[in-house]
């Protein structure tokens, strides 16, 4: 790796971190406005156009509040917990491809921070670190509600990580790779040609059951409704971040939204073709190139731009889906969550693996 490679990598890191940070206030706004409109309300609409700056105002408020640490907490872990929560959320995004590659001169430019050989495994290993932050917060808060919240959270995460991991096995079997770049690339192949309509080999078409399980498990992993038991307002006040205020609480909230983004990106990459163009976009690409009489290099850049756009659009849709589901589906009871995880999701994911294996053996897919 020469100097330019370093610069490019650092640039990509910085860009992703910057974009992820911007997602948080935007999502807060989307969440509040969206829920308000679904409930015949207006939501925050005072600050900036359509209340868009509400998130910034919240952040400013949190930053300027007195950073008070309660006397009964374990100070070191109390302070560490939000960070431990937030950092893995950022790290996961490193292996997610948000575009294919482009060759500039001799240099191959990858739109992915690091295309690790163990890509998917890396995602799971890092994502499960997040639970340490929650446990730490609950334990160091020295408060029974907080502890209950973190206990629930860890139980929930362990239960659903199982079905999460198993549901992805099917994808690995079909694409026979754990590199996310490979998985995304292979989804561009055509699965079926029904006259003029060609169905791509997207994960959702080859693994519909796996998608459902993965989706549900991601909801549980990110502690979002209908699985927000760690926070369970009506039972344990605010759960693991009960004792937190100011920006420390803000960090927990940021971690939640960044986790959401990562979840949405994972769903996109594994089941919705990742950066693969949306239907119709390839036609736009071709027409645009012809219309503007672009050079080959420029056409390549336009292709990459469209790829990034389609990736972003898919991620945005799933982010919205998170919000949408949250304000639609009521919360599960704790035993119901466990029931669903162990009695439904786990057997189903095993069945999914078996069926996929059989299908692959008979060369159906």
Partner 1 sequence: MLVKSKPGLFQRFYVVEILKGLAITMRKFFFGKTVTIQYPEERREYSDRFRGMHYIKSVNGVENCTACMLCPTVCPAECIHIEAGERPDKEKYPVKFEIDSLRCCFCGMCEEACPKDAIKLSNIYEMSQTSREVYDKKFLMEQRGHK
Contact residues toward partner 1 (CB under 8 A) are 34, 36-42, 212, 324-325, 327-329
Contact 287, 82 (CB under 8 A): no
- Would you call 224 helix, strand, or coil by DSSP? coil
Q: In whole angstroms, how close is the CB of 325 to partner 1 at the nearest point?
A: 7
Residue 241's CB: how many other CB atoms inside 10 A?
27
- Min dist. Cβ of residue 192 to partner 1 (A): 23
Tell the smallest beta-carbon distance from residue 260 to partner 1 (Å): 17
Q: Which is nearer to partner 1, 97 or 203 (CB)?
A: 203
Burial of 345 (0-12, 13-18, 19+ CB in 10 A): buried
CA pair distance 263, 15, nearest whole angstrom: 19
Name the residue nearer to partner 1 (CB basis): 124 or 320: 320
The residue among 14 and 37 lying less far from partner 1, judged by its C-beta, is 37
What does the DSSP 8-state code read for residue 341?
I
Q: 287: cis peptide before it, omega within 30°?
A: no
The pair of three-digit structure tokens given for residue 191, joined into one six-digit string: 């699965």
Tell me whether residue 41 or residue 333 sits nearer to partner 1 (CB atom).
Answer: 41
Tell me whether residue 13 or residue 212 sits nearer to partner 1 (CB atom).
212
Tokens of 215: 């989706």
Question: Smallest distance from the beta carbon of 29 to partner 1, in angstroms?
Answer: 15
Closer Cβ to partner 1, 77 or 317, answer by number? 317
Q: Least distance in Å: CB of 95 to partner 1?
A: 30
DSSP-derived secondary structure for 155-180? HHHHHHHHHHHHHHHHHHHHH----H
**DSSP secondary structure letter of residue 94:** G
CB of 259 to partner 1, least distance (A): 21
């Amino acid at each position: 790796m020469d100097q330019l490679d370093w610069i490019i990598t650092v640039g990509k890191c910085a860009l992703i971190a910057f974009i992820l940070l911007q997602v948080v206030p935007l999502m807060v706004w989307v969440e509040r406005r969206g829920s308000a409109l679904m409930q015949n309300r207006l939501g925050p609409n005072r600050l900036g156009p359509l209340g868009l700056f509400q998130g910034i105002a919240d952040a400013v408020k949190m930053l300027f509040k007195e950073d008070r640490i309660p006397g009964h907490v374990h100070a070191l872990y109390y302070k560490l917990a939000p960070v431990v929560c937030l950092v893995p959320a950022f790290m996961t995004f490193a292996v997610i491809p948000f575009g294919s590659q482009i060759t500039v001169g001799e240099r191959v430019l990858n739109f992915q921070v690091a295309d690790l050989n163990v890509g998917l495994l890396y995602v799971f290993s890092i994502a499960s670190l997040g639970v340490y932050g929650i446990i730490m917060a609950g334990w160091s808060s020295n408060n029974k509600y907080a502890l209950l919240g973190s206990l629930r959270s860890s139980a929930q995460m362990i239960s659903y990580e199982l079905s999460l991991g198993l549901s992805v096995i099917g994808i690995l079997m079909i694409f026979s790779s754990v590199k996310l770049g490979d998985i995304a690339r292979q989804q561009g192949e055509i699965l079926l040609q029904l006259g003029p309509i060609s169905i791509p080999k997207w994960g959702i078409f080859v693994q519909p059951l796996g998608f459902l399980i993965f989706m549900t498990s991601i909801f549980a992993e990110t502690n979002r409704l209908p699985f927000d038991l760690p926070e369970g307002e009506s039972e344990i006040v605010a759960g693991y971040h009960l004792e937190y205020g100011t920006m420390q609480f803000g960090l927990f909230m940021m971690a939640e939204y960044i986790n959401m983004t990562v979840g949405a990106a994972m769903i996109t990459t594994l089941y919705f073709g990742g950066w693969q163009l949306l239907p119709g976009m390839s036609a736009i690409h071709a027409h645009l190139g012809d219309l503007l009489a672009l050079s080959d290099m420029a056409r390549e850049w336009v292709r990459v731009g469209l790829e990034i756009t389609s990736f972003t659009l898919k991620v945005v849709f799933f982010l919205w889906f998170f919000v949408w589901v949250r304000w639609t589906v009521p919360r599960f009871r704790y035993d119901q969550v466990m029931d669903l995880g162990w009695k439904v999701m786990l057997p189903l994911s095993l069945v999914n693996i078996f069926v996929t294996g059989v299908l692959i053996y008979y060369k159906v897919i």
